[in-house]
């Protein structure tokens, strides 16, 4: 486990170093010759390793230099929800695909979930609505008190703003689709994480999703059976199992015939941590979560500022070009994006 952690650090610093040492022009060319976003990545890297905060002024294209229309890639979002995944256990596990996503993006291992009521319904409600439990009203898995009329899922908001968006939610834990997500193009509830993978691979192959939410439940199940801890091998093995499944999904994204014309933002987070074999309280083990934002449109490296569970879907909307209205009264904001 110590080895995995060291390798992890090596991978990330190597990636950061590569970005820093490459001349801006070369870095831009290497990253992606056709996108206007590529020079922005180089521009940010040149700002220094601490600059996870975006510097919009440094990222503007030169005056009079209009980007060719062909350079605009189709923005797409894949949100991967890993139920009950503690960030310290994720780091202890040999999770090569999640490590690669973090190395090619912005990440935090100290993201804050709801300060209490760390249940699945509460956490997924915060991720999907972009507000804390005090606003969405869900304090346990009975879903009583939910205020999704006032604070609907942001996937629904995206669909309302742009009905042309293809939106889908494929989940292992059915209540996410039954109680929370609504007004989108496709809702699919399946019985296993393996089916989340096969359905998603099929959709990526035969369909054209723009905004996709996935929910995996096996890690949470391992936590309840064996313990939520980086020291519990059954728990870290479960993380590695889902990590391999994520690898299959990422391969399917890259295998899309239109992949070269697409700009995928991959977001990964969780509803809550865990303590012993349970969760639901306000301890740091239960409320400390993680957030990964990966892709060509993200800044690179560990996010130095605070990040929150409510930020996940707000970041997705920003990438998709869906404007957030102040009347929505959101608690989250976009994090980790270049602009």
Contacts to Zn ion by CB under 5 A: 84, 220
User: In terms of CB distance, is 219 or 317 closer to Zn ion?
Assistant: 219
Shortest Å distance, C-beta 121 to Zn ion: 10
Asked if 279 contacts 119 with a C-beta cutoff of 8 angstroms, the reply is yes
User: In terms of CB distance, is 174 or 247 closer to Zn ion?
Assistant: 174
Shortest Å distance, C-beta 279 to Zn ion: 6
Query: By beta-carbon distance, which residue lies closest to Zn ion?
Result: 220
Asked if 147 contacts 302 with a C-beta cutoff of 8 angstroms, the reply is no
Element (H, E) at 82: strand 74-82
User: In terms of CB distance, is 225 or 261 closer to Zn ion?
Assistant: 225
Query: What is the three-class DSSP state of 81?
Result: strand
Shortest Å distance, C-beta 274 to Zn ion: 7
Shortest Å distance, C-beta 109 to Zn ion: 20
Comparing C-alpha atoms, which of 17, 31, 26, 10 is closest to residue 295? 31
Shortest Å distance, C-beta 114 to Zn ion: 14
Comparing C-alpha atoms, which of 156, 113, 173, 179 is closest to residue 312? 113
Cβ count near 234 (within 10 Å): 12
Shortest Å distance, C-beta 120 to Zn ion: 6
User: In terms of CB distance, is 193 or 220 closer to Zn ion?
Assistant: 220
Write out the two tokens for 118. 């760390």
User: In terms of CB distance, is 210 or 271 closer to Zn ion?
Assistant: 271
Shortest Å distance, C-beta 176 to Zn ion: 13
User: In terms of CB distance, is 234 or 329 closer to Zn ion?
Assistant: 234
Per residue in 40-64, is it b (16+ CB within 10 Å) or e — as a string?
Answer: bbbbbbebeeebbebeeeebeeeee
User: In terms of CB distance, is 88 or 220 closer to Zn ion?
Assistant: 220
Residue 174: exposure state from Cβ atoms within 10 A (0-12, 13-18, ≥19): middle
Residues 6+ apart with CB under 8 A from 320: 75, 76, 77, 158, 162, 165, 210, 211
Query: What is the three-class DSSP state of 117?
Result: coil
């Amino acid at each position: 486990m110590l080895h995995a952690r060291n390798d992890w650090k090596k991978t990330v610093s190597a990636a950061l170093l590569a970005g820093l040492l490459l001349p801006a022009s070369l870095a831009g060319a290497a990253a992606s010759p056709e996108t206007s976003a590529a020079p922005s990545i180089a521009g940010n890297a040149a700002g220094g390793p601490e600059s996870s905060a975006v510097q919009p002024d440094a990222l503007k294209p030169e005056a009079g230099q209009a980007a060719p229309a062909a350079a605009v890639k189709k923005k797409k979002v894949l949100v991967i929800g890993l139920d009950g995944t503690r960030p310290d256990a994720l780091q202890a596990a040999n999770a090569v695909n999640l490590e690669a996503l973090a190395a090619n993006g912005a990440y935090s291992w100290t993201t804050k979930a709801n300060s209490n009521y760390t249940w699945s319904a509460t956490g997924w409600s915060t991720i999907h609505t972009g507000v804390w439990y005090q606003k969405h009203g869900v304090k346990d898995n009975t879903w009583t008190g939910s205020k999704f009329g006032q604070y609907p899922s942001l996937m629904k908001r995206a669909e309302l703003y742009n009905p042309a968006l293809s939106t889908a939610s494929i989940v292992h834990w059915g209540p996410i689709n039954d109680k929370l997500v609504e007004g989108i193009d496709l809702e699919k509830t399946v019985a296993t994480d393996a089916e989340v993978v096969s359905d998603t691979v099929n959709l990526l192959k035969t369909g054209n999703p723009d905004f996709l939410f996935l929910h995996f439940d096996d890690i949470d199940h391992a936590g309840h059976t064996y313990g939520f801890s980086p020291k519990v091998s059954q728990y870290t093995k479960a993380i590695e199992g889902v990590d391999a499944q994520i690898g299959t999904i990422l391969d399917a994204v890259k295998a899309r015939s239109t992949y070269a014309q697409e700009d995928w933002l991959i977001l990964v987070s969780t509803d809550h941590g865990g303590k012993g074999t349970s969760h639901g309280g306000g301890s740091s083990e239960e409320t400390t979560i993680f957030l990964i934002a990966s892709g060509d449109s993200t800044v690179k490296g560990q996010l130095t500022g605070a990040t929150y569970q409510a930020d996940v879907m707000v970041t997705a909307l920003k990438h998709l070009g869906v404007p957030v209205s102040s009347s929505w009264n959101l608690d989250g904001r976009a994090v980790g994006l270049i602009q």
